[in-house]
Amino acid sequence: MYELKFDENECLSCTTQDCLTRCQYMDIDRDTAKTEILKIARGEDSFVLHDCVTCYACEEYCPVNNHPFYLIVEKQEELNVPPLPRPLIQRGINVGIPFRGEPDIVEVSEPVMSMGTFADLLYLVQGRLFEGVSIISADPRKMFHFFCQLMYLHYARTSVIKERLPNIIETIAKYNVKELICFHDECYGTFTSYAPAVGIEVPFKPIHLFEYLYNRLQELKDEIKPLNLKVAYQRPCSSRLSSDKHHFVPDIINLIGAEYVQREYIDENALCCGGTIQGQRREGSRKRAADVQRRNIEDMKNAGAELCVFNCPACWDTLAGLVAQNGIRPIFMSDLCRLAIGEKPTGWR
Amino acid sequence: MDSVYQALVDIVGQEHVSNRQEELFIYSFDLGTTEPHRPDYAVAPRTTEEIQEIVRLANREKVPVVPLGGGLSLAGLAVPFKGGIALDLKRMDSIIEVNEKARYALVECGVSQAQMVSYLERYHPTLTHSEPGAPGPATIGGNVAIHGQGDLAQPYGFNSDMVNGLEIVLPTGEVCRFGSCSISSGWFTLHPLPDLGLFLGWSGTTGIITKVSLRLFPCKRIRGVGQFVVENEELVPEVIHKLTHTQMAEDIIAYSQAVPPFSSGLQHFLINLAADSEKELEFKQEIIWDDTLGEYIRRGDGGFLGFRQGLERPVVSKTSDWRKGGGFEYVGAIMPVDTYPECYRQGREISERHDIPYTVLGRCIGMAHAMMFSWTYAFNRADPESIKQAREALHETDDLALELGGTLWKPGLYGQKLVMERMDPHTLELMKKVKQLLDPNGIMNPGNWEVS
């Protein structure tokens, strides 16, 4: 069985305890943080296991990449402290079961992109930015064969990820790709962060969508017409697993002549979309999620944002309507880039 | 020249009558498992007067008349089992009046559900009707003729409870009006007399509904659906009891289905809420999710899946896609709410025995006075064995619904026979007398609800 590479000594010698002291959903001082993370590492119960909203951010905050978030969710499962009610966990586990036969493995030529479980959003992958890109997992009936499974961190079911992920990687590997552009950064985070953290081998090099988009925009630089729009970004939880790629957000926005608005909940201080929080078992979760959403959108408005850019379809489902109700147009990053080169965004809503 | 054909041409004009085999073929079947039967003629009248003439002709010639709306009942209720005239009512599609103050719409029978929705959205956005979740071409007249149900069923009951008046062409050709419209020009109530209850739910065997006054309801600015899920089916009646106690939902549906797998073995609730302001919406959400269902969430027995603005009606026709071949049919039944767990367990068992992915759905009617159930079976239209398998499952489910103390909704011939076998003999005798009185020549949709 795959085991998480977590070193308790790193926490013992840590002088910041950023993993918990920087948490935006729990108020924890440094001494308490050290005590609690060590309790968790030793398999003891901790209030952190009960109060964690599973926002992934501590993975980014940890200064030594010791995987505190993966540890927390593993221990939630081991100690039976589920963050969600049982039916939601079972429902989530059911979601990832493929049910429409085996995928057709066909010959592809690079560059290759995987839609993961978002084959329904294929319309976002078109135009000159994606010319020549081969797409795998483009069939909604079979996309669960390409589901990275990392969503189960929210469900405290790392056992499901460890059981299913090797098969998913094996399916993708049948395409014999050297590099794989990941439509969703949850897939990217799975292959570059979670898989190595638990010792699962990934036989291809994942490419972050934003890195790909940035490079394509550079190639099409002459066609960019500055957008002159003020843009906020809804940073998704899984982006915390690839913080080294987050710089592409401001890079892209600057490249296309838009303004990346400065606000309180930006970059490392980004707020969760609330999608997971609202369903949690803890008393008051629905209202807590609504409060997070309200603060987030108010912050975008105060910063003067005209657009809110999304990468994660789950964030979009949760937040795009609310953003629009508040006078800010939601748009996916690929569509924003298409807008900049004079194409009509297909997902413009 | 066929004299009946010529007479029909004289009534409706050549372009609205056909005896061509390729066109009669279209009227020979519905989308369910019922064996097809071709009519001899297909006629599409435009007026009540034309319908009267057609019915008189049919009486003279002793030719069956089978009224047809959208043709989407699935149970074979508009299949011309004994040939005759398929009376296609889709040209009767005028929305005659919308009375905003009294909240009703007077429409011709062939007005489609989609037409009604778009008309109200455009011209009367503060009003809505109970939309049954059927495909858009389903008609208003067809829906009440089969005793339909739709959203708003939780506060207001079946679609046939939402009728303020009817115009009927009797099987002998006379036109009758029922409700206030029979004594005045107002179509605002079906009560007190002459509310005879002879046509709603009778599937076109006692007359042809030509006009319907349909109750309309406030359409609040914000309408949306919240979802809740439990593992234990035994909790469903209790949850519904608590939800209906709040008197806040516009619709409550519980379902479980094998495909897609997310719902397999779980019971999902779709709970419609409506509000005119964010303040009202939040008040209702707090009462429903936090106060009423919060105890299940805290215990870990139930999960809140979020609230989404915009109505997403459950579309059971999607289940046709769960097997190759695109066919599906369901058994509908009105059941006591406390039978939900058995309806789910035994319905699932029937499906699994016939190797069909199960789909069980129940809509709450009134203040939990009943649930309108559907057990849906997908089949391959091109495979007779698959159709036979689905038909067997449907018949077993008809039996099950009655064994569990329910009553069948828009049953096909097999279910009608079961119902009549169990019916109080005096009631059955009365049905027979009513049929004979209204339809002495037995021309109306013969084969259906025939009391021997």
The domain that holds B107 is classified in CATH as 3.30.465.10
Q: What is the pLDDT of residue A65?
A: 95
Which residue among B88, B117, B143 closes a domain? B88
Q: Which of A90, A275, A285 sits opposite B231 (nearest CB)?
A: A90
CA distance B388 to B379: 9
The candidate with the shortest Cα–Cα distance to A242, out of A312, A186, A316, A198, is A186
User: What's the rounded mean pLDDT across residues B84-97?
Assistant: 98
Inspect the interface and report whether the beta carbons of A86 and B229 lie closer than 8 Å: no
Q: A328 with A234: CB under 8 angstroms?
A: no
Contacts of A278 in chain B (CB under 8 A): 304, 306
Report pLDDT for B85: 98
Residues in chain A: 349
The full set of domains in chain A, from first to last, is 8-78 (no CATH), 95-211 (no CATH), 222-340 (3.40.50.1860)
Contact A179, A134 (CB under 8 A): no
User: Shortest CA distance to B281 belongs to which of B366, B219, B220, B240?
Assistant: B220
The DSSP symbol for A267 reads G
pLDDT band at B133; cut points 50, 70, 90 = confident
Last residue of a domain, one of B410, B430, B446: B410
Using a CB–CB cutoff of 8 Å, tell me whether B157 touches chain A.
no
User: Which among B59, B88, B117 is the end of a domain?
Assistant: B88
Average pLDDT over residues B43-71: 97
Q: Tell me the residue type at A245.
A: K
Q: Do B300 and A85 lie within an 8 Å CB cutoff?
A: yes
Q: Given this model, what pLDDT does residue B342 score?
A: 98
B211: domain range?
95-218
Residue A176 backbone zone (phi > 0: left; psi -120 to 50: alpha; other: beta)? left
Predicted pLDDT of residue A348: 66
**pLDDT given at position A125:** 95
Q: Clarify whether residues B105 and B253 are in a common domain.
A: no
Q: Let me know whether B209 and B235 are in one domain.
A: no
* Sequence-separated (6 or more) residues with CB below 8 Å from residue B37: B28, B79, B80, B81, B82, B83
Instruction: Say whether pLDDT at A349 is over 70.
Output: no
Specify whether the CB–CB gap between B306 and B291 falls below 8 A. no
Residues B24 and B122 reside in one and the same domain: no
Q: Tell me, yes or no, whether B439 lies in a domain.
A: no
Average pLDDT, stretch B238-249? 97
How high is the pLDDT of residue B249? 97
Identify which has the larger pLDDT, B35 or B321. B35
- Which residue is it, tokens 């064994």? B403
Q: Which residues of B touch A279 (CB under 8 A)?
A: 303-306
Contact call for A88 and B306, based on CB within 8 A: no
Q: Tell me the pLDDT band of B73, cut-offs 50, 70 and 90.
A: confident
Domain total in chain B: 3
Mean pLDDT of the region A220-242: 97
pLDDT tens column, A16-49: 999 999 999 999 999 999 999 999 999 999 999 9
DSSP string, A59-70: HHH-TT---HHH
Tell me, what's the pLDDT at B1? 62
Q: Is B232 a member of any domain?
A: yes
Distance separating the N- and C-terminal Cα atoms of chain B: 36
Chain B interface mutation, best of A50, A84, A88, highest count of B Cβ atoms under 10 Å: A88
| CA gap A247, A237 in Å, rounded | 16
Same domain, B225 and B160: no
Compare CB distances from B262 to A94, A284, A287 and report the shortest one's residue: A94
Residues from chain A that touch B308, judged by Cβ atoms under 8 A, are: 321
Residue B428 within any structural domain of the chain: no
B262 close contact with A: CB closer than 8 A: yes
For testing contact with chain A, the best of B267, B297, B358 (most A CBs within 10 A): B297
Q: Provide the CATH number for the domain around residue B275.
A: 3.40.462.10
Is the domain of B77 the same as that of B185? no
Q: Do A88 and B261 touch (CB under 8 A)?
A: no
Residue B443 lies in a domain: no
Mean of the per-residue pLDDT values of chain A: 96
Record: contact A87-B285, CB cut-off 8 A: no
CATH of the domain at B29: 3.30.43.10
The model's pLDDT over B326-382, given as tens digits with 9 standing for 90+, comes to: 899 999 999 999 999 999 999 999 999 999 999 999 999 999 999 999 999 999 999
CA distance A110 to chain B (A): 32
Q: Which amino acid is at A212?
A: Y
pLDDT on residue B369: 95
In this prediction, residue B323 carries a pLDDT of 78
Q: Is the pLDDT of residue B72 over 70?
A: yes
- Say what the pLDDT of residue B313 is: 73
Q: Are residues B159 and B10 in the same domain?
A: no
Pair (B234, B383) in one structural domain: yes
Q: Could you tell me how far CA B321 lies from the centroid of its own chain?
A: 21
Kind and range of the H or E element at B426?
helix B425-438
**B108 located within any domain:** yes
| Chain-chain contact of B266 with A97 (C-beta, under 8 angstroms) | no
Residue B306 lies in a domain: yes
Strands B302-309 and B222-230: antiparallel
Residue B450 lies in a domain: no
B16: in domain = yes
pLDDT over 70 (residue A129): yes
Cβ partners under 8 Å of residue B127, min gap 6? B98, B100, B103, B105, B120, B216, B217, B218, B219
Taking CA–CA distances from A93, the nearest residue in chain B reads: B262
| Chain B residues 50-109 with a CB less than 8 Å from chain A | none
Question: B202 and B287 share a domain?
Answer: no
pLDDT at B420 over 70: yes
Quote the tokens at residue B122. 């455009």
Residues A156-170: tens digit of each pLDDT: 999 999 999 999 999
- CB of B306 within 8 Å of a chain A CB? The answer is yes
List the single best residue of B221, B229, B236, B283 to mutate versus A (max A Cβ within 10 A): B229
Q: How many residues does chain B have?
A: 452
Residues B294 and B402 in one domain: yes
B225 and B347 inside one domain = yes
Please name the residues in contact with A78: beta carbons below 8 A apart, sequence gap of 6 or more: A43
Same domain, B266 and B278: yes
Mark whether B225 and B144 lie in a shared domain.
no
Q: Provide DSSP, B282-299.
A: HHHHIIIIIIISHHHHHH
B194 has pLDDT over 90 = no
Q: What is the pLDDT of residue B311?
A: 82
Does residue B136 belong to the interface with chain A, where contact is any CB pair within 8 Å?
no
